[in-house]
Chains A and B, each alone.
Chain A
Amino acid sequence: MTTRTIAVVSAGLSNPSSTRLLADRLAGATVAALRARGEDATVEVVELRGHARDLADNLTTGFANESLQAAVDTVVGADAVIAVTPVFSASYSGLFKTFVDVLDKDALRGTPVLLAATAGTARHSLVVEFAMRPLFAYLQAVPVPTGVFAAAEDWAGGGDRALFDRIDRAAGELADSVAGRPVATGPVDPFADPTTSFEELLKGR
């Protein structure tokens, strides 16, 4: 049985965090959906709050310290990414964006991604579409069609299963885009022997 690695990036700040709660729901649903498709998965969670200072340091120094580098490697080397941010001032949080900012621009090229966001009210419900999706389009990641937005009221449960149906649909889409693909081999080694010979570089190709 193929085992996949699903990296979860959660930019929630409080504890307990509804962002993390949503992230865990999405991760659980994705693992279940992959198992239903005959594949296993392990989940690696990156809580950005724990890297808040590391990220600020990376902005000034230009390099990730050991702890942040481990988190970056986890995300970049995963078969799929579940990215969840709280909404701050009508967009993804600065912490979330800073993490994206320190990734190499090609780091998530072709990676299936599930986009999700949380907010206090439903007023921000399109933030996944107007803020997160363009960001991941720039990264040339492959976001699944269904984004998941959860406002505080969505956790009320009761008769309304809209959020949970949406979680299952998005997780199913993520599992579909992962299953059957080659297993991720981790970050590209920039110090591997070059594939273009120096003579070719000299010829301007």
Chain B
Amino acid sequence: MQFGIFTVSDITTDPTTGRTPSEAERIKAVLTIAKKAEEVGLDVFALGEHHNPPFFSSSPTTTLAYVAAQTSTLQLSTSTTLITTNDPVKIAEDYAMLQHLADGRVDLMMGRGNTGPVYPWFGKDIRDGIPLAVENYQLLRRLWREDVVDWEGQYRTPLQGFTSTPRPLDGVPPFVWHGSIRSPQIAEQAAYYGDGFFHNHIFWPPEHTQRMVEFYRRRYAHYGHGSADQAIVGLGGQVFMRQNSQDAVREFRPYFDNAPVYGGGPSLEDFSSQTPLTVGSPQQVIERTLGFRDYVGDYQRQLFLIDHAGLPLKTVLEQLDLLGEEVVPVLRREFAALKPAHVPDAPTHASLVAAAGGAKDTTVHAPADDVTGATAEGAVR
């Protein structure tokens, strides 16, 4: 099972000091957090994509390429990649490039994005969210799997004889997860392709996550990819830890009370009982997290949100130490002992290459001038 962290890249005032980090400071902090994740033995770092303040991460492949160069085992992912407002051609190109730079340590999580104005800023309509996700992802898959694509659809200009470069590393596209909090259509999409399904699992009651995952598993089996318990499931989670649980509650409360996503609503205690948010000792986090399996079954990836709401870098790094030293080793052992042999691990580049019968060089060599890229067709005057 894979364990890691995901960040939304928010720049939020620390409510205990009134201090707001600069973009420059927060960007460097997230890089430090990513490198630290590998150091403490976590498997995955996932970065969000946003196109409005207070978030900095508009350009995730740039950031992830830097992290790739600074790490050696960390799996790089997204939380999420906007399959609605991004051009699928650019996603195909950017993430294949990242895959090469990172020696295959890349997967993606598709999301629709829920910030209304982002859609018109990118020339789209939020009411088309689901059809955009369906059409764009189908095109993305083809761009990674077919050397030359002819395509026509509703939402972007047609393609004739288009080759997305670079071709996926070793001829194997990155594994894809589909993230959705409440849309069964997206779980259906994940099931249809046999892709992974990720539930963010931090804002809503666990019963809701359970119903979405059950639906995805049932549909995964329906489409013939394997039995329901072999479907690839990822969950989010949000934790804040101190050795003494009262200290954790006392320290986290001002962040909870002032966080843009939580403040003004239910108390920390109510929210902790109604959702998977866990503020307490490492042992409490272990017990709560093991309990996730009770309602989603054996799953493949657990990501924690630990760096939002204005928490200072020093505190986040302490959380990573606790995760790496005390929490994840126990979770790894306990989850592994519970998992039946026929339940697969999350796909990685190595496992996908093996499943494809080995690495292939799929470079497309154009019959063209090597220097200018001009083809005979293009050279007609």
Q: Are A62 and B203 in contact (CB under 8 A)?
A: yes
Q: Which residues of B contact A57 (CB under 8 A)?
A: 265-266, 270
Q: Who on chain B is nearest to A199 by CB?
A: B192
Of A60, A61, A66, A194, the contact of B188 (CB 8 Å cutoff): A194
A122 shortest CB reach to chain B, Å: 38
Q: Who on chain A is nearest to B187 by CB?
A: A191
Chain A residues with a Cβ closer than 8 Å to the other chain, count: 17
Q: Is the C-beta of A63 less than 8 angstroms from some C-beta in chain B?
A: yes
B361 shortest CB reach to chain A, Å: 31
Grouping DSSP codes into helix (H, G, I), strand (E, B) and loop, the B interface class, with mixed when no group exceeds half, is helix
Chain B residues with a Cβ closer than 8 Å to the other chain, count: 32
Q: Which residues of A contact B212 (CB under 8 A)?
A: 191
Q: Are A65 and B153 in contact (CB under 8 A)?
A: no
Q: Which residues of A contact B378 (CB under 8 A)?
A: none
Q: Which residues of B contact A201 (CB under 8 A)?
A: 130-131, 134, 185
Q: Are A60 and B185 in contact (CB under 8 A)?
A: no
A13 shortest CB reach to chain B, Å: 22
Q: Are B192 and A63 in contact (CB under 8 A)?
A: no
Q: Are B214 and A204 in contact (CB under 8 A)?
A: no
- Near A by CB (< 8 A), chain B positions 137-192 give 138, 153-154, 184-185, 188-189, 192
Q: Which residues of A contact B264 (CB under 8 A)?
A: 60
Q: Which residues of B contact A193 (CB under 8 A)?
A: 218-219, 222
Q: Is the C-beta of B208 less than 8 angstroms from some C-beta in chain A?
A: yes
A190 and B207 CA atoms in complex are apart in Å by 14
Q: Which residues of B contact A66 (CB under 8 A)?
A: 205, 274
Of B153, B192, B204, the contact of A62 (CB 8 Å cutoff): B204
A92 and B83 CA atoms in complex are apart in Å by 41
Q: Are A198 and B270 in contact (CB under 8 A)?
A: no
Q: Who on chain A is nearest to B133 by CB?
A: A201
Q: Which residues of B contact A198 (CB under 8 A)?
A: 188-189, 192
B274 shortest CB reach to chain A, Å: 6
| A61-B271 contact in complex given A202-B134, A202-B138, C-beta closer than 8 Å | yes
Q: Are B265 and A63 in contact (CB under 8 A)?
A: no
- Near B by CB (< 8 A), chain A positions 53-100 give 56-57, 59-63, 65-66
Q: Who on chain A is nearest to B137 by CB?
A: A202
7 shortest A-B CB distances, which residue pairs? A60-B265, A191-B215, A198-B192, A57-B266, A63-B204, A57-B265, A201-B134
12 more CB-based (< 8 A) A-B contacts, given A61-B266, A65-B205: A57-B270, A59-B265, A60-B262, A60-B263, A61-B203, A63-B205, A63-B208, A198-B189, A201-B130, A201-B185, A202-B135, A204-B154
Provide 6 A-B residue pairs closer than 8 Å at the C-beta atoms, listed in order of the A residue.
A57-B265, A61-B274, A65-B266, A193-B218, A201-B134, A202-B135
